[in-house]
Amino acid sequence: MVLTGSVADWPDWRFRNTYGHTRRLTRRGWAWEFLRRNPAFRRDLMRALEHARYAERRMDVDVITSSFNLAGWGLLFRKLLEE
């Protein structure tokens, strides 16, 4: 699941009416639901977003880079192959 916009635009997990989508979640979706609640992850994500920059657009995908590494959270990112 990819959320765009600022954190203020994301669904607020504290309100019951934002949970309708959970009936269709995969394991990956449930992992994201738990991870996004973790205060330490949220702090690291904000730090990564503060260091993020737009790199380019490839085949309708915006490529964003950040000098802050989130791999410690088990998030995997595919390296772009040089053309």
Q: Please write the tens of the pLDDT for every residue from 25-71.
A: 899 888 888 888 899 999 998 888 888 888 888 777 777 778 888 88
| Domain boundaries, given as residue ranges, for the chain | 7-73
pLDDT at 39: 92
pTM: predicted TM-score of the whole model, two decimal places: 0.56
pLDDT at 4: 53
| Count of C-beta atoms within a 10 Å radius of residue 8 | 6
pLDDT at 82: 46
d(CA 57, CA 63): 6
d(CA 35, CA 81): 29
